[in-house]
Amino acid sequence: MSEDNVKICASVLTWNHITTGRADMFARTCLSLTDGGVPVSVRVITNGSTDGTQDVVKRLGGIVDDTHTQVWYGMERGIEDAIARGGDIILFTADDIEYKHGWAEKLLAFWQDAPDEVIIACLFLEDCWPWNTVRGYLDTAGGRALLRDSVPGSCWSFRARDWAKIAPLPRIMPGEDMEVVKRLTGQGYLLAALDLATHTGEAHSAWGNQSHTWSVPLDRARWGL
């Protein structure tokens, strides 16, 4: 499949971004997704918002689905919508990820080069915790990707054809993403991390995650980044 025929579809999950003080991050995320260098189909989704975020999503032509209020449901709903829109490459993103200029063009180049064993790629480089050890790297036309033990569900890119291997998400919160990546790596799949975005809301979690307070900075020089 040539890059000219590949469609990227992105889903942005947002939740109560008004009362959590993340409205500006949400706006920056949506704006940065349009600066990818190639066209990207973007749709916003919310589930369980009660502070007016749902009205913002409606005005943007997005999806408001309160069937379940937990993250796993919003992720699945958004991903399945992106696939239904005809996406070949899917990007699921939280509302606090700012994408770099030309990100989508580089992401396409990455997936053109990536071996089948690579099943999920995150577009930002996390700091280090015991669960996301770097195991090596992969050089592609889209740039150098680190191979890690885990990549966060707040930013998952993958081939649409691989969704059947990734789904379903565990009906738990938090930790739905960790259960998935453990299963996938246990089956021999690889997880990649690219330097195509910044996690602007890492220290401003919507649900109180404080793991950033005890992370170890990633040694970029060691990995040639």
Is 211's pLDDT higher than 90? Answer: no
What pLDDT was estimated at residue 33? 98
Is 212's pLDDT higher than 80? Answer: no
Is 159's pLDDT higher than 80? Answer: yes
For residue 214, list its beta bridge partners. none
What pLDDT was estimated at residue 202? 67
Confidence of residue 174 (pLDDT cuts 50, 70, 90): confident
Higher pLDDT, 148 or 215: 148
Confidence of residue 173 (pLDDT cuts 50, 70, 90): confident
The chain-wide mean pLDDT, for the chain, equals 94
Q: Work out the average pLDDT over 144-169.
A: 97
Confidence of residue 153 (pLDDT cuts 50, 70, 90): very high
Is 53's pLDDT higher than 60? Answer: yes
What pLDDT was estimated at residue 205? 61
Residue 93 · residue 32 · CB < 8 Å: no
Q: Work out the average pLDDT over 182-202.
A: 95
Both structure tokens of 169:
């998400």
Q: For the ranges 12-26, 116-130, 190-204, 209-223, which has the lowest average pLDDT?
A: 209-223
Is 3's pLDDT higher than 70? Answer: no
Q: For the stretch 141-171, what's the b/e string if a residue is b when 16 or more beta carbons lie within 10 angstroms of its beta carbon?
A: ebbbbbbbebbbbbbbbbbbebbeebeebee
1: burial class by Cβ within 10 Å (0-12, 13-18, 19+)?
A: exposed
pTM for the structure as a whole: 0.94
Strand pairing report for 63-64 and 40-46: parallel
Both structure tokens of 211:
């793991």
Give pLDDT tens digits for 7-41. Answer: 999 999 999 999 999 999 999 999 999 999 999 99
Give pLDDT tens digits for 82-98. Answer: 999 999 999 999 999 99
Alpha carbons 17 and 21: distance in angstroms, whole number: 6
Q: Work out the average pLDDT over 121-140.
A: 97
